[in-house]
C-alpha cells in the first residue's frame, strides 16, 4: 500500500517535471525546417495543447493499459521500447551486483582479519582506485587490454550471432532455457567487461563496509566468548560474525543497486550495450518527454522493489527486527 | 598435579592518560580437581586475570610486560595463535561475566549450542557440514536440550528455538553455563557465573559444578565477590587487591583466621543478618595509572607502617598453605 502511494507521488513529480523541461518537444522532433502549422498540429496530436491536469489524466489512464505514450525518437510506444531494453540493463546490473557481492564480502572479511597488514593495504588501494577512477576510463582501459591487445573478449554489444529465443530477455537465461550453450558462452563473454566495469565502485564500497563491520564484530563480546569456549575459527568467522556483519552491509547493497541502475548509462554508452539507461539519457537530450517519464518511472519502481527486498531480507536475517513487529 | 600456575604476571593497558598498570605480579595456581576462588572488590582485576589466561584480552591496548602462565606443560604466553586456540578449546572452558552481551543476538540458542556441541575444538569443518547438509544437527540440538535441563531452565525445548533477546538475564546466564559444560574441559574459568541468579538456582548451579568436579576431575577457577559462595564451593581462595594477590589460604583458614588487613576488612564488611553494624573499608580501589608506591593497599590500611609506602611486600608463607603479602608479616616486619 505504502509502495503504491510512493509510486503515485513519483509519477506525479516526474510527469510535471518532464512537462516543465525547457524547449518545445514538438519543435525539437520536427527540426528547424518545419513550419508553424506543422508544429502546432504535432502539439495537438501529442495532446500538448491541452491543460496539464488533462494530460496527467490521460497519462494515468494509459498507464493502466500499459501505454506510456509515443516516443518522439523511435515513434513507438515508450512501453514497448522499455520492454525491449530493460532486460539488457537488468542483466548488466544484476551481474555487476553479483560480482560486487561475491568479490567485496570475502575481500572485506580478509582485510578485517588481516587488518593493517599487506592484504588489507592492497585491498585499501584497490578500493580507493575502484571508487575514484572514472568508470568510462576504466571501461575503455578494459576494452584496450582484454579486447584489443589480448583479443580475449569482444569489445561491444550483447551477442555476436542472433539472440536466443526471447523469453525473459536476459540472454544468459534465455540461452540456457533454449539449451544453446555456445550462445550462453558468447553472451557471457560480452557481459563480462561491462559488468566488471560497473561493479568496481560498488565492489570497493562493499569491501570497505564489510571490513568495518567485521572489525566491529571481531571485538564483540559474543565473538570473543564463542572463540574462547572452542568454536572453530572458520565457523565463528564465516557463520556467526558474518551474519551480523552482513545485516548492516545489506542496506548499502540496496542503495548501491539503485545507484547502479542510475549509473549504468556510462557503461552502456562505452560498450554499446542496448539497454534502458542509454535510451533514457538520449531521450533527456532530445527532450523526448514520454520516454523520460517512462525511464524514470521504471527506475523508481526498481528502487521501491529493491527496498522491499532489503526489508524482507533484514527481517529474515535479524530476529531483533522480526520480533519487534 | 598443578593444572594452572601463574607466576609474576603483569598486565598493562595503554590508555590516553598513560599506562594503566593493572595486574602487578599476580601469582596463582590451581591443582587438579580443585576449586579455587578468586575474590576481591570490583575493579581489582579479576576479569583481566581470567581473560589473560584465556587469551581473550584485546592486545593492544593490553600488553604483558612480564610473567608466565603454565597450563599443564605449556607456557601459554609463548604458544603461537593456533596452538593456543587448540589448547584452550580442548582443555579450557569459560563462563563469561556479562550474560547480556555474551550471546550472539542473531542466532537461536539451539543453533549456537548445537554448533558448539558438534564442532567444539575442531580446527576444520567440511563445507558440507558447514552448510548443514550432514546429519548430526538433530542430535546436537537434543543434547543442547539435555544440557539446558541440567541448569534448570524451564521448558528447555522451547528455549532452544528462542533468540537471546527473548531470554532474561538469568536465563542467558544459565545458557552460558550450559555452553561451558559442553565437552570435557580440564579447567573451567567461571567469572561470577551466579551473580545474576537467585539463591535457589544459584545453589543448583553450584551443585552442578561440584558434580562435574567430582565426576570428571575438573579444576575450577571461580571468580566471585561473594565470600559465602566461596565458602560453599572453594577449596582454596585467593584474595586480590588492586591487581595483586593479598592473601591466599584454604577457605576455612582464611575465613576463620584472616591475617591481611584487607581480608579482615573484607570479611567484616559482609552484612550480617543479625543486624550488627555494617563495617566497610574506607577509600576506593587505587588508580592504576599512578598506583600508590609500595603496598597498593597502604593508603587505606588501618595498620599502616612507614615501610608500607616504600617497599612492595612479597607473598610469603606464614603458616601451612597460608600466604600473605603484607609487611606486618614479612621478614623484619612488625610481628
Ligand atoms: N581494555 C582495557 N583498557 C584499559 N583498562 C582496562 C581494560 N580492561 C580492564 N581495564 C581496567 O582493569 C581494571 C580491572 O578490571 P576487571 O574487569 O578485571 O575488574 P573486575 O575485578 O573483574 O571487577 P568486577 O568485579 O566489577 O567484574 C579496571 O580498573 C579496568 O578499568
Ligand atoms: Mg569482572
Residue B31 confidence (pLDDT) above 50: yes
**Among residues A23, A75, A20, which one has the least CA distance to residue A46?**
A75
**Among residues B169, B153, B159, B161, which one has the least CA distance to residue B208?**
B153
CA–CA distance, A183 with A171 (Å, rounded to integer): 8
- The reply to whether B193 falls in a domain is yes
Domain A85-286 coded CATH 1.10.3720.10: yes
Q: Give residue B134's pLDDT.
A: 59
- The reply to whether B182 falls in a domain is no
Residue of B nearest to A244 (CA): B106
DSSP notation for A264-319: HHHHHHHTT---HHHHHHHHHHTT-HHHHHHHHHHHHHHHHHHHHHHHHHHHHH-H
**Among residues B162, B319, B332, which one has the least CA distance to residue B254?**
B319
Residue A67 confidence (pLDDT) above 50: yes
Question: In this structure, is the dihedral angle defined by the CA atoms of residues B26, B29, B30 and B35, taken in order, positive or negative?
Answer: negative
Domain ranges in chain A are 2-64, 85-286
Mean pLDDT over the full length of chain B = 82
A33: helix, coil or strand?
coil
**pLDDT band of B121, cuts 50, 70, 90:** low
- The reply to whether B231 falls in a domain is yes
Chain B environment of A234 (Cβ under 8 Å): 124-125, 130
**pLDDT band of B284, cuts 50, 70, 90:** low
Q: Residues B26, B243: contact at Cβ < 8 Å? A: yes
Question: In this structure, is the dihedral angle defined by the CA atoms of residues B71, B74, B78 and B84, taken in order, positive or negative?
Answer: negative
Q: Residues A114, A105: contact at Cβ < 8 Å? A: no
| C-alpha A258 to ligand 2 mean position (Å) | 47
Most confident of A70-74, A101-105, B72-76, B229-233: A101-105
Q: How many CB atoms lie within 10 A of CB B168?
A: 10
B13 lines ligand 1 (CB under 6 A): yes
Among B117-126, B196-205, B228-237, where is mean pLDDT lowest? B117-126
Residue B135 confidence (pLDDT) above 70: no
**CATH number of the CATH domain containing B255:** 3.40.50.300
Each residue's pLDDT tens digit, B242-274: 888 888 988 888 888 888 888 888 887 766 655
Out of A219, A232, A247, closest to residue B125 by CB: A232
In this complex, how many residue pairs, one in chain A and one in chain B, have their CB atoms less than 8 Å apart?
A: 97
Q: How many CB atoms lie within 10 A of CB B204?
A: 16
Q: Residues B38, B30: contact at Cβ < 8 Å? A: no
Nearest atom of ligand 1 to the alpha carbon of B40: 21
**pLDDT band of B7, cuts 50, 70, 90:** confident
B179 touches chain A (CB under 8 A): yes
Domain residues for the domain of B317 are 2-101+187-329
CA–CA distance, B248 with B257 (Å, rounded to integer): 11
B16 touches chain A (CB under 8 A): no
Query: Chain centroid to CA A103: how far?
Result: 17
CA atoms within 13 A on the CB side of A220: 23
Beta strands across the sheet bearing B219-224:
B92-95, B187-191, B219-224, B35-39, B236-241, B244-250, B322-324, B316-319
- The reply to whether B107 falls in a domain is no
Most A CBs within 10 Å: which of B60, B87, B104, B163, as the mutation test of the A interface?
Answer: B104
Among A49-63, B27-41, B68-82, B215-229, where is mean pLDDT lowest? A49-63
B22 lines ligand 1 (CB under 6 A): yes
- The reply to whether B208 falls in a domain is yes
B199-216 and B169-180 helices cross at what angle (nearest 10)? 0
CA–CA distance, B3 with B282 (Å, rounded to integer): 37
CA–CA distance, A165 with A161 (Å, rounded to integer): 12
Q: For residue B269, what are the CA distances in angstroms to A77, B77, B196, B273, B300?
A: 88, 37, 21, 12, 14
Q: Residues B249, B321: contact at Cβ < 8 Å? A: yes
Residue B221 confidence (pLDDT) above 80: yes
Most confident of A90-104, B127-141, B269-283: A90-104
Among A166-175, B50-59, B69-78, B92-101, where is mean pLDDT lowest? A166-175
Quick one: average pLDDT of B61-71?
85
CA–CA distance, B288 with A118 (Å, rounded to integer): 36
Each residue's pLDDT tens digit, B147-163: 888 888 888 888 888 89
Q: Give residue A212's pLDDT.
A: 92
Residue B332 confidence (pLDDT) above 60: no
Residue position matching grid coordinates 533484514: A314
- The reply to whether B60 falls in a domain is yes
Each residue's pLDDT tens digit, A117-146: 888 899 889 888 888 888 888 888 888 888
B15 lines ligand 1 (CB under 6 A): yes
Per the structure, the count of domains in chain B is: 1
Taking every pair of Cα atoms in chain B, the longest distance, rounded to a whole number of angstroms, is 71
Q: Give residue A324's pLDDT.
A: 64
Out of B106, B108, B183, closest to residue A230 by CB: B183
Residue of B nearest to A218 (CA): B58
CA–CA distance, B249 with B111 (Å, rounded to integer): 42
Q: Give residue A207's pLDDT.
A: 92
**Do the chains contact at A244 and B106, CB–CB below 8 Å?**
yes
Q: Give residue A102's pLDDT.
A: 94
**Do the chains contact at A231 and B88, CB–CB below 8 Å?**
no
Q: Minimal Cα–Cα distance from A233 to chain B, Å? A: 7
Most B CBs within 10 Å: which of A114, A115, A229, A240, as the mutation test of the B interface?
Answer: A229
CA–CA distance, B37 with B231 (Å, rounded to integer): 9
**pLDDT band of B166, cuts 50, 70, 90:** confident
Q: Minimal Cα–Cα distance from B91 to chain A, Å? A: 9
Model confidence, pTM: 0.82
Q: Extract the C-alpha cell encoding B153.
A: 531452565
- The reply to whether B52 falls in a domain is yes
**pLDDT band of B335, cuts 50, 70, 90:** very low
Q: Extract the C-alpha cell encoding B140.
A: 546436537
- The reply to whether B178 falls in a domain is no
Most confident of A72-81, B33-42, B80-89, B261-270: B33-42
Among A20-29, A176-185, A298-307, B247-256, where is mean pLDDT lowest? A20-29
Q: Give residue B273's pLDDT.
A: 55
Residue A300 CB partners (closer than 8 Å, separation 6+)? A6, A7, A10, A11, A14
Amino acid at each position: 500500500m505504502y509502495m503504491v502511494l510512493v509510486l503515485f507521488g513519483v509519477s506525479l513529480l516526474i510527469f510535471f517535471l518532464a512537462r516543465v523541461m525547457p524547449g518545445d518537444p514538438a519543435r525539437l522532433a520536427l527540426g528547424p525546417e518545419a513550419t508553424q502549422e506543422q508544429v502546432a498540429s504535432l502539439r495537438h496530436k501529442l495532446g500538448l495543447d491541452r491543460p496539464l491536469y488533462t494530460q496527467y489524466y490521460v497519462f494515468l489512464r494509459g498507464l493502466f493499459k500499459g501505454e506510456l505514450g509515443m516516443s518522439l525518437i523511435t515513434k513507438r510506444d515508450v512501453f514497448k521500447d522499455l520492454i525491449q531494453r530493460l532486460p539488457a540493463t537488468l542483466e548488466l546490473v544484476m551481474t555487476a551486483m553479483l560480482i560486487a557481492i561475491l568479490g567485496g564480502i570475502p575481500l572485506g572479511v580478509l582485510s578485517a582479519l588481516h587488518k593493517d597488514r599487506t592484504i588489507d593495504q592492497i585491498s585499501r588501494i584497490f578500493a580507493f582506485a575502484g571508487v575514484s577512477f572514472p568508470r568510462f576510463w576504466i571501461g575503455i582501459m578494459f576494452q584496450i587490454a582484454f579486447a584489443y591487445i589480448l583479443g580475449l573478449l569482444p569489445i561491444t554489444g550483447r551477442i555476436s550471432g542472433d539472440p536466443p529465443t526471447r523469453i525473459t530477455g536476459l540472454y544468459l537465461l534465455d540461452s540456457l532455457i533454449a539449451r544453446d550453450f555456445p550462445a550462453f558462452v558468447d553472451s557471457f563473454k560480452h557481459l563480462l567487461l561491462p559488468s566488471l566495469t560497473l561493479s568496481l565502485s560498488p565492489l570497493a564500497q562493499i569491501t570497505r563496509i564489510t571490513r568495518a563491520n567485521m572489525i566491529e564484530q571481531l571485538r564483540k563480546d559474543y565473538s570473543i566468548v564463542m572463540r574462547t569456549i572452542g568454536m572453530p575459527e572458520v565457523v565463528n568467522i564465516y557463520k556467526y560474525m558474518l551474519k551480523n556483519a552482513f545485516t548492516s552491509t545489506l542496506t548499502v547493497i540496496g542503495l548501491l543497486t539503485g545507484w547502479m541502475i542510475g549509473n549504468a548509462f556510462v557503461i552502456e554508452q562505452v560498450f554499446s550495450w542496448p539497454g534502458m539507461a542509454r535510451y533514457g539519457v538520449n531521450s533527456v537530450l532530445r527532450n523526448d518527454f514520454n520516454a523520460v517519464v517512462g525511464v524514470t518511472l521504471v527506475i523508481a519502481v526498481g528502487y521501491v522493489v529493491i527496498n522491499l527486498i532489503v526489508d524482507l531480507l533484514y527481517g529474515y536475517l535479524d530476529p531483533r527486527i522480526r520480533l519487534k513487529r | 598435579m598443578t593444572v594452572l600456575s601463574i607466576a609474576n604476571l603483569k598486565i598493562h593497558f595503554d590508555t590516553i592518560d598513560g599506562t594503566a598498570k593493572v595486574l602487578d605480579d599476580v601469582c596463582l595456581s590451581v591443582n587438579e580437581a580443585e576449586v579455587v576462588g578468586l575474590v576481591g572488590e570490583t575493579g581489582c582485576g579479576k576479569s583481566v586475570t581470567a581473560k589473560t589466561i584465556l587469551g581473550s584480552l584485546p592486545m593492544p591496548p593490553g600488553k604483558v610486560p612480564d610473567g608466565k602462565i603454565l597450563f599443564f606443560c605449556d607456557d601459554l604466553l609463548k604458544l603461537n595463535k593456533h596452538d593456543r586456540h587448540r589448547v584452550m578449546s580442548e582443555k579450557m572452558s569459560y563462563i563469561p561475566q556479562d550474560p547480556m552481551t555474551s550471546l550472539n543476538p542473531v542466532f537461536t540458542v539451539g543453533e549456537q549450542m548445537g554448533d558448539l556441541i558438534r564442532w567444539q575444538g575442531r580446527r576444520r569443518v567440511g563445507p558440507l557440514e558447514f552448510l548443514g547438509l550432514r546429519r548430526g544437527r538433530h542430535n546436537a540440538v537434543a543434547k543442547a536440550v539435555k544440557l539446558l535441563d541440567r541448569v534448570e531452565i524451564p521448558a528447555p525445548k522451547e528455549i532452544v528455538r528462542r533468540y537471546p533477546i527473548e531470554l532474561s538475564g538469568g536465563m542467558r546466564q544459565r545458557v552460558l553455563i550450559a555452553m561451558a559444560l559442553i565437552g570435557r574441559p580440564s579447567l573451567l574459568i567461571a567469572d561470577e557465573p551466579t551473580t545474576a541468579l537467585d539463591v535457589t538456582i544459584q545453589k543448583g548451579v553450584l551443585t552442578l559444578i561440584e558434580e562435574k568436579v567430582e565426576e570428571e576431575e575438573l579444576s575450577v577457577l571461580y571468580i566471585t565477590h561473594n565470600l559465602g559462595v566461596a565458602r560453599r564451593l572453594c577449596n582454596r581462595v585467593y584474595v586480590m587487591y588492586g591487581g595483586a594477590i593479598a592473601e591466599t589460604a584454604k577457605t576455612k583458614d582464611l575465613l576463620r583466621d584472616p591475617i591481611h588487613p584487607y581480608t579482615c576488612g573484607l570479611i567484616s564488611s559482609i552484612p550480617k543478618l543479625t543486624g550488627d553494624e555494617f563495617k566497610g573499608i574506607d577509600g576506593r580501589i587505587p588508580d592504576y595509572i599512578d598506583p600508590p608506591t609500595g603496598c597498593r593497599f597502604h593508603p587505606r590500611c588501618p595498620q599502616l607502617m612507614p615501610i608500607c609506602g616504600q617497599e612492595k611486600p612479597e607473598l610469603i608463607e606464614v603458616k601451612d598453605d597460608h600466604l600473605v603479602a603484607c609487611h606486618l608479616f614479612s621478614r623484619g616486619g612488625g610481628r
